[in-house]
Structure 1
Amino acid sequence: MVESVKTLAALRRHIASLEGVPASQPHARVETGHAAIDQALDGGLARGRVHEFFAAVEEAAAGAGLALILARLAAVDAPLLWLRTVAAGRAGGMPYGPGLAALGVDPERLVIGVMADDGMLLRAAVDALRCPALGGLVVELRGSAPLLDLTASRRLALAAEASGVTAFMLRVGGDPAPSAADTRWRVAAAPSLPVPGNGPGMCAFDLSLLRRRAGRDGLGWRLVWDNGRGMFEESGGGRDERHDLGQSGREQDGRRQNGGGRDRQAPLSGAVVSVSAGRPAADRAA
């Protein structure tokens, strides 16, 4: 019965795309479970849109982890597609099954497409977004990615709106530029709180909203992924960590992206999501 409902929903999206009717409605949102973020976004991330996430090279694992979590929330039980280049695979490595499971991503529902270069990657992304049966799409681009200009970005956005598929563009080591993305974010790994028994805590992220097409931006949060509940929480047991970055904060954030002025220890490299260097030594030795 569940599979029939999913098939019917995909069929409706496909019919809407053939008729030229946008499959995503203005009220359709991907709820994160993080009350402050969902409230700031009028209910969550807009479905059938493109969302950009920028991460420094040393934060690539955290960026990939967050993008996969959000894509899984958008897809529910539908398939996920992660598109990346051969060079990205060499630089960042391949995903680790138990690490994916810790993010709530079923490896059996994740398809990874490896492309020769950025041009092939962007063409494949447009084709993927035209498939209404797809649950969510993650597109990983590294460096400046000059082929992702405003025209290419609009092409992706139009395809996402037509099919209702939500796309998450992971920009590793890139700088924000004009695009048709609905939202633009900066993501980095954050120290996690240890669990009882001094074990490693849940995945934590520092997330900054750099730009939003229709709404306030310049906000930042620290959020924790609760895999057991399948949702994000505020850091520190429900404390709202929102703060207004302001112009100076955004400038400092940009300098940190370029490798300078870091105000915290770099996270240690881990499988899919970085492990923060801020954890106690006993955690790292475990």
Structure 2
Amino acid sequence: MSDLFSAAADELAAASAPLADRLRPRSLDEVVGQEHLLGPGRPMRVLVESDKLSSVVLWGPPGTGKTTLARLIAGASSAHLEARSAVTSTVKDVREVLAGAQARLGERGRRTILFLDEVHRFNKAQQDALLPAVETGLVILIGATTENPGFSVNSALLSRSVLFRLEPLSDEALVALARRGLVAEGLFSGGDGTTEEGPDAAAKAEFEEALEVLAVAATGDGRHLLTTLEVAISLARSRHGTGVSGEQIVLGIPDVEGAMGAKAVRYGVD
């Protein structure tokens, strides 16, 4: 019975999670952007699909998918995942993870991936504590950072890792992400998945402009775009009223302006 309640609670939590969490990719093919790393034959995809990972550092601005990629890498691997934040972890925490990795390897022959978010926040002593385990392959380190690792990560640790640089998402990628969010929320998305009669030409043009405004305002940050979109969707539903639902609800400039708390810069208007 407790398992039943636990499953129900998990389902409710998933349904009420922020849109950005609900749209987290479940495979490399669902990732928006980063084609230079994840396209066919590109380095990260090859490493992941061959399950021959070495330690890596993911460097890029916020909202470019560092945490998502780390979890996808771990999920595609046969290794055990330990996830920690460098903001809250101590040297003691690191040593406990390494002790667990040693036991896991000795008892079951299973390797350990340590995902360390904001690895640049680790001080020298904390990074030094990790170094022997990375050198010997006891753990596979996946470090995520928004800071230049050349200045923020121990050079010895960095030299034993593959550095992947993630780029800000293009406006085109962000618009595609916004459409995916609209599909998930059951609203008009302007894509092939639209089944009901679409809006008139003027509303369609405003809708496309609203997506462009959202994309430009997000400045390459996918998480920021989805957070703003979620508010805009709520405003669009309210504006259309209770008699309108599903794909009849079309996002407009007023919804985007309300979500951003600012007047939108209009594109393509004389």
TM range (shorter): 0.3 to 0.5
Structure with higher Rg: it is 2
Higher strand share: 1
TM-score after normalising by structure 2: 0.41
Higher helix share: 2
- Structure number with greater CO (CA < 8 Å, separation at least 6) is 1
